[in-house]
Amino acid sequence: MAAVGRLAGGARLSRPRWRTGLLLALPAIVIFAALFVAPLFTLVANSFRTQTGAFTLGNYARFLGDPFYRDVLWNTLKVAALTTAGCLLVGYPFALYMRARSPRVRNRLALLLLSPLLISMVIRAYGWLVVLGPNGPVASAFQALGLTPPQLLYNDTAVLIGMVHVMLAYMVLPLMGSLDRIDPTLVPAAKGLGASGWTCFWRITLPLSAPGMLAGAMIVFSLTASSFVTPAILGGPKVKLMPYFVYTQATTTLDWPYAAAIGFVLVVVTTGLLLGYSRLLRRGNGEVVFG
Amino acid sequence: MTTMTDAPASTEVRRGRLRLSGVRKVLGGKEVVSAVDLETEPGEFLTLLGPSGCGKTTTLNMIAGHLAADGGLIEVDGRDITTVPPHRRSMGMVFQSYALFPHLTIADNVAFGLRMRKVGAAERRRRVADMLELVGLDGMAGRHPRQLSGGQQQRAALARALVIQPDLLLLDEPFSNLDAQLRVRLRDEVAALQRRIGTTAILVTHDQEEALAVSDRIAVMAGGVIHQLDRPQEIYLRPATDFVAQFIGEVNALDGTALGGGACEIAGRTVAATPAGEPPAKGAAVRVYVRPEVVRVGHDGDGLRGTVRETRFLGSRIRCVVATPAGEVTAALPYDAAVPQEGEEVTCTWRPSDASLAARA
Amino acid sequence: MTRLTRLLGAAFATLVGLFLIAPVAVTVASSLTATSYVTFPPQGLTLRWYGEVLAKPEFLSSFALSAGVALAAAALSAVVGLAGGLAIHRHRFPGRAALEAVLSSAFAVPTIVLGIGLLQWFAQMGLASSPFTLLLAHLVLTVPYAVRLVLAGLSGLDRSAEKAAAGLGAPPFLVFWHVTLPAVRGALIGGAFFAFITSFDDLTVALFVVTTDLQTLPVRIFNYMQYDYDPTVTAIGTLMVLFAVIAVVVIERFVGVAKLFGADTQERS
């Protein structure tokens, strides 16, 4: 209220005093200083400490030196990359399909894409547990065909399916943004010059939608690398991913400094990617779909 | 649709004398309005005309109270309102974007000011209905702004501004979002309605034709100062400064030397014009401004001699360019004028009262 | 487009659609099974598992905790988001750029990292876990969205409308009430509902902040799943899906789900 107070205070509209702004922003500033900035600083600080509090680089040395954890890092990147590829494979044709629909249908499809994000992560993952489980529809389908159902749970495949399911929207929406920005007269123009439908796709649509693909890929990759719930439920301890080890180190092994170090490496991997991406964006003019 | 001009005459008491004295405004370290003096008659239609960035909108916002003056005095009917917040002034403002409240119906938009004034429901309904009828929007009361055309939104914004019987009606480029035909029709309707109701109106525009068509007086602004404040005919025929001459319409600007009074010597010939302000001293460098419409091309009289370089038929006028020793003189001749041949030797003349003369910088 | 490609397109889209709704549909369907293990298609038809949920007090208390925290998170995010959005949109103040940077980086920091950061920070501060600390933690997840929606709402508001209201005699508070607030009303409602489901569904942060006697519903389900494989979870899941559907309908009605995630699905001209 005080914000507008100025508006009518006559004069003051052109010279807002900063005090009102600060007052309005204060709750947000306090919350984020105390519950976002401070915890992250604590985390970074702790990652350079031993369990007894002395300064050390040992946590990072341990993470990078231990072949087991190097494997965890590698597997995290692999699963994230595969999920990104999966989203692109499913998402690109879907975005093309969406683009050809009326605005109304597009809106419905977008809602469908986004709905997994709004359903409880636990329940969603549990649903996949049922779908892919021994009594689920996939297994029944195999049995009906007289085949032995493959092991679909607690492995990379299960995590991959679950992750593509959640992340698809993050790939399709930026893609749509890019596709919509393509001048609709380009393809007819190319066809007029003798290009076939396929040529048009390869030479015009695909290259011009590259910014959207890149945006989607960055977001999907970094979100997948840092997600915990879906891999924990569908993959379990057998699928070695960094977020899971952050969790077990913090709650089971109770090695907080080490958990902090793994967490910080995770931040560097994911946030670094996103920061690089937004820097890229500021140079071109895409749109930030995430963050 | 009833047009606004069908409205019954108002018996409103004439008030709304606005006075600005030495009003200044500094924005971002730059003085955008410098010592503006201005006084309106009650019921007058006054236009602030100028290019973008000339300070006209800033001036209007200071009158409305949305911006504080950094110096000077703003008075309405002798009351100092310089530091009064906008909601305690009584100004009906119409914005370029119309600024209708998108979540309210047209009737509720118009009723807003009456609600703020705690006008009773029955009277409020009556006044809203009357005003909507006045602007030709009866039947649109229940619609939302987005369901109306640009012209209708404009009328609704006008109704909202007028229903509170404001001291002043402030119009901030109200027609610039409309297409050309509608713009002309609406501006004439607004001018007619304003005359009927008798509310003093201040219009801000960059459109010189619009300003000439609707205003009782025009203040031509540039660089934060008023260059000339006068009736439209004066502004057009006898511009006081080079800026006014060039900004409004086409003009022949001829350089010469003052001979005292309104006379001056241009390229060896003696011509006459009306001095803008004090007549320049004899021998001073002056410039004469002559509109093409007032130039006559013939063979008699005192005037500039020259050769016809081209003539063009333009429909409403015949354009004739004469090369003279003082430069080209363009004349816009009526359709039935005797059109000289290209290459013909002619004399360009005008009535001294139809041209102005000012000292040259 | 030929008939064949159109047919292929439709078939593909249907498959993607099936893929998207599969886990939820299967969960809802198998909550009705009469068997004591989870199976799809369900065998028999019973509401027994819903009864089981209601008969388990620990689920009910977890539900109460989650719902309470989520309601508070919704209300507080709306208020904090509105104030913060107004401040960022209209004012210059020390720390504005930093606040904006922090709010946008909050989208990018992995939730698990925030969770473990909060765990260690709370421990260092000697803060015992309580519904209150959980609420504060959830605000970090929800406020950035609320601010984003409020900013979108404010940018759609013509500032002239506020001037017009003031000129018509509305004092500052009434200008805010009649003009500014209606412009962000959708953002506030949508943001509040989104905050509700975000908080209600959160597992990652809650896992770090809660204790064994203070378990939110997702934490309770997560722990229960590790040991039991009976259809109780599918029944709870169905109830939670119902919650989410209501929230989605409301959000879609007031702001559009796509806008929440910063995307615009409408065709650009």
What is the per-residue pLDDT across B265-287, written as a single tens digit (0 to 9) for each? 998 888 889 998 888 888 899 99
Tens-digit pLDDT profile for residues B89-103: 989 999 998 899 998
B58, B60, B66, B114: best mutation site toward chain C, by most C Cβ within 10 Å? B66
The whole-number pLDDT of residue A7 equals 37
Domain annotation covers residue B106:
no
Q: Is B97 close to C179, i.e. CB distance below 8 A?
A: no
DSSP A204: I
Q: Which long-range contacts (CB under 8 A, 24 or more apart) does C216-224 make?
A: C216/C62, C216/C65, C216/C66, C216/C69, C216/C134, C217/C59, C217/C62, C217/C63, C217/C65, C217/C66, C218/A120, C218/A121, C218/A122, C218/C66, C219/C62, C220/C58, C220/C59, C220/C62, C221/A122, C221/A123, C221/A126, C222/A122, C222/A229, C222/A233
C168, C188, C189: best mutation site toward chain B, by most B Cβ within 10 Å? C168
Residue A286: band (very low, low, confident or very high) from pLDDT cuts 50, 70, 90: very low
Report the C-alpha dihedral over residues A271, A274, A275, A281, rounded to 10 degrees: -170
Kindly report the average pLDDT of chain A as a whole number.
84
CATH of the domain at C120: 1.10.3720.10
Domain annotation covers residue C1:
no
The whole-number pLDDT of residue A289 equals 40
Domain annotation covers residue B114:
no
Burial class (CB in 10 A: 0-12, 13-18, 19+), A196: exposed
Task: Give the nearest partner residue to A173 out of C86, C208, C261, using CB atoms.
Answer: C261
B57 and B202: one domain?
Answer: yes
The whole-number pLDDT of residue C51 equals 86
Q: In angstroms, what separates the C-alpha of A113 from chain C's closest C-alpha?
A: 7
Domain annotation covers residue C44:
no
B230 and B310: one domain?
Answer: no
The whole-number pLDDT of residue A282 equals 59
Domain annotation covers residue B115:
no
Question: Which chains contact C through at least 3 pairs of Cβ atoms less than 8 Å apart?
Answer: A, B
Residue B294: band (very low, low, confident or very high) from pLDDT cuts 50, 70, 90: very high
Tens-digit pLDDT profile for residues A40-96: 999 999 999 888 888 888 889 988 889 999 899 999 999 999 999 999 999 999 999
Domain annotation covers residue C238:
yes
The whole-number pLDDT of residue C263 equals 54
Residue ranges of chain C whose pLDDT lies below 50: 264-269
B32, B33, B63, B67: best mutation site toward chain A, by most A Cβ within 10 Å? B67
Q: Is A270 close to C110, i.e. CB distance below 8 A?
A: yes
Domain annotation covers residue C22:
no
Please give the CATH topology (third level) of the domain spanning A63-283: MetI-like fold (1.10.3720)
Domain annotation covers residue B51:
yes
For chain A, the C-alpha Rg in angstroms (whole number) is 24
Instruction: Give C-chain residues touching B65 at CB under 8 angstroms.
Output: 166-167
B228 and B328: one domain?
Answer: no
- A vs C: CB pairs below 8 A: 343
Instruction: Give C-chain residues touching B85 at CB under 8 angstroms.
Output: 166, 171
DSSP helix/strand/coil, B40: coil
Domain annotation covers residue C20:
no
How would DSSP label each residue in C151-201? HHHHHTS-HHHHHHHHHTT--HHHHIIIIIHHHHHHHHHHHHHHHHHHHHH
The whole-number pLDDT of residue A13 equals 43
ipTM associated with this complex: 0.84
Residue B255: band (very low, low, confident or very high) from pLDDT cuts 50, 70, 90: very high
CA nearest to C196 within chain A? A118
CA nearest to A4 within chain B? B66
Q: Is the pLDDT of residue A283 over 80?
A: no
- Are the beta carbons of B17 and B76 closer than 8 angstroms? yes
Sheet bearing B263-266, strands edge to edge: B269-272, B263-266, B252-258, B285-290, B355-359, B274-275
Q: Is B99 close to C158, i.e. CB distance below 8 A?
A: yes
- In whole angstroms, what is the distance from residue B149 CA to residue B130 CA? 21
How many folded domains does chain C comprise?
Answer: 1
B52 and B173: one domain?
Answer: yes
How would DSSP label each residue in B340-352? PPTT-EEEEE--G
Residue B3: band (very low, low, confident or very high) from pLDDT cuts 50, 70, 90: very low
Q: Is B93 close to C163, i.e. CB distance below 8 A?
A: yes
For B:283-312, CB contacts with A below 8 A are: none
Q: In angstroms, what separates the C-alpha of A185 from chain B's closest C-alpha?
A: 28
Q: Where would I find the beta strands (DSSP E) of B249-337?
A: 252-258, 263-266, 269-272, 274-275, 285-290, 296-298, 304-313, 318-324, 327-333
Domain annotation covers residue B57:
yes
Q: Is the pLDDT of residue B201 over 90?
A: yes
Tens-digit pLDDT profile for residues B68-86: 999 999 999 999 999 999 9
Q: In angstroms, what separates the C-alpha of B106 from chain A's closest C-alpha?
A: 24
DSSP helix/strand/coil, A93: helix
Q: How many CA atoms lie within 13 A of A224 on its CB side?
A: 34
Domain annotation covers residue B47:
yes
- Pick from B237, B266, B281: which residue ends a domain? B237
- In whole angstroms, what is the distance from residue C100 CA to residue A15 CA? 21
Domain annotation covers residue C23:
no
Predicted TM-score (pTM) of this structure: 0.80
Percentage above 70 pLDDT, chain A: 89
DSSP helix/strand/coil, C259: helix
Q: Is the pLDDT of residue B9 over 80?
A: no
CA nearest to B171 within chain C? C164
- Pick from B237, B266, B285: which residue ends a domain? B237
**Beta bridge partner(s), residue B219:** B48, B229
CATH of the domain at B62: 3.40.50.300
- In whole angstroms, what is the distance from residue A190 CA to residue C59 CA? 62
CA nearest to A11 within chain B? B68
Domain annotation covers residue C85:
yes
B273 and B355: one domain?
Answer: yes
Q: Is B112 close to C170, i.e. CB distance below 8 A?
A: yes
Structural domain boundaries, residue C179:
50-260
Q: Is the pLDDT of residue B43 over 60?
A: yes
B354 and B215: one domain?
Answer: no
Burial class (CB in 10 A: 0-12, 13-18, 19+), B103: middle
Residues 6+ apart with CB under 8 A from A182: A204, A205, A208, A209
- A vs B: CB pairs below 8 A: 24
Q: Does A17 touch chain B if contact means CB atoms closer than 8 Å?
A: no
Nearest to B85 by CA among B61, B65, B67, B57: B65
Instruction: Give C-chain residues touching B86 at CB under 8 angstroms.
Output: 163, 166-167
Q: Is the pLDDT of residue B10 over 70?
A: no
- Pick from B237, B270, B296: which residue ends a domain? B237
Domain annotation covers residue B68:
yes
How many folded domains does chain B comprise?
Answer: 2
The whole-number pLDDT of residue A135 equals 82
Domain range list for chain A: 63-283
Structural domain boundaries, residue B48:
4-90+165-237
Domain annotation covers residue C232:
yes
